[in-house]
Amino acid sequence: MARFHQDLWPIRYKPLEDELLSSWLVRLAHGHGLKVQSFCNMLYGNKRQIWNRDIDRLAPQWLLDDLKLHTGATQMQAEQTTLRIFDGVLVKHYREAGPLQWIQLMQMYHRKREGYGQQFCPICLQEDKVSYFRKTWRLAIKTMCLKHNCMLMDRCPQCDSAVSYHRIGMGQPNHVEFDPLSTCHECSFDLRAASAKPVKVYNEEAFDWLRRVVSDIDDFSAGKSVKIDLKEVSLFHHMTAMVSKERNRYHLGQHVADMVGADDYVPINTNRVALESYQCHVRNQYMQFAAWLLVDPQVRLHQACRARAIRHNFLLRDMKDPPAWYEDCVNNRIATRARPFFERRHKINLDSRADEIDLTY
């Protein structure tokens, strides 16, 4: 017991509800009156670099063990701060490098974040006693705050910089009073003062469907017992990617935009941009379109195929393990409905050829 108390730091904040590992670590450093880089260099030296990589995603075990030891946090509390908890829930094969399904890209360049992967809700930050950043704000599937019914933001509204709270105080050698984590590291704008925008709803039914999905993920991230089907969220990701891009002469996104009366749809005209790096409001629109298709897939996907907005064989392309109901829907219902058209045309050709062939012996 004596050794346990010797190991504890003077400041030993515990993770707040749904807090990210990086947010927790920065709060601990500032609590000790140190910049987070100085804090980590004192503890781990130059051999163990932290801030030139996505620490919320990597979450090395040695760092979690050290934070547990010095703050008295439990194993569960420490592990709940990392994005690894979404392994097998939103991500099929979790890995340390490369894009991950539904995990926002930070686009690291040394210690800078050039991507807009860290989102925030300004009203949540306003209501916090201590400003901190949530895990779900790193998820591409989360584009809106259900509590305040507003869109999340992914950049400083004043200088357009990506959110990098670990850089607060950098370039200020005598900085001892630390601003809250809600402060923009570049222009010192307080993100709590940003104007939250309402969510634009394209179709009530699809929006309710999307709200339920996001609500389940919020609950899971907060540690509640919620069952999330990886195949279903993978299908949603697949459908969202399809409506976001044009495939040759097939325009599924424009078809859905016409059906729901959206006049602000703009497709992504390249396959090289990952869904996880789209702007927040753009992703929200694409996800609402995908949700509209999945509310009644048998009818709406069939309509899209009939309208030549998508080919039915595209619906399963690049999906290694789709839900059984979806595979059945595409192969046995949508494809079967499309078949009579081709069979009829083929039959007409055969009939026309039959007139030319002498079948008498």
pLDDT in tens, 88-119: 999 988 988 888 999 999 988 888 888 899 99
Q: Please answer whether residues 28 and 13 qualify as being in contact, where contact means their C-beta atoms are separated by less than 8 angstroms.
A: yes
* Residue 175 confidence class, pLDDT cut points 50, 70, 90: low
CA distance 207 to 129: 31
Q: Please state the φ and ψ torsions of residue 236, each to the nearest 5 degrees.
A: -65, -40
Confidence label for 267 from pLDDT (cuts 50, 70 and 90): confident
One-letter amino acid for residue 21 of the chain: L
Between 21-35, 66-80, 125-139, 299-313, the lowest mean confidence (pLDDT) is in: 299-313
Mind listing the pLDDT tens digit for each residue in 206-261? Answer: 999 999 999 999 999 999 999 999 999 999 999 999 999 877 777 899 999 999 99
CA distance 85 to 19: 13
> pTM of the full predicted structure?
0.88
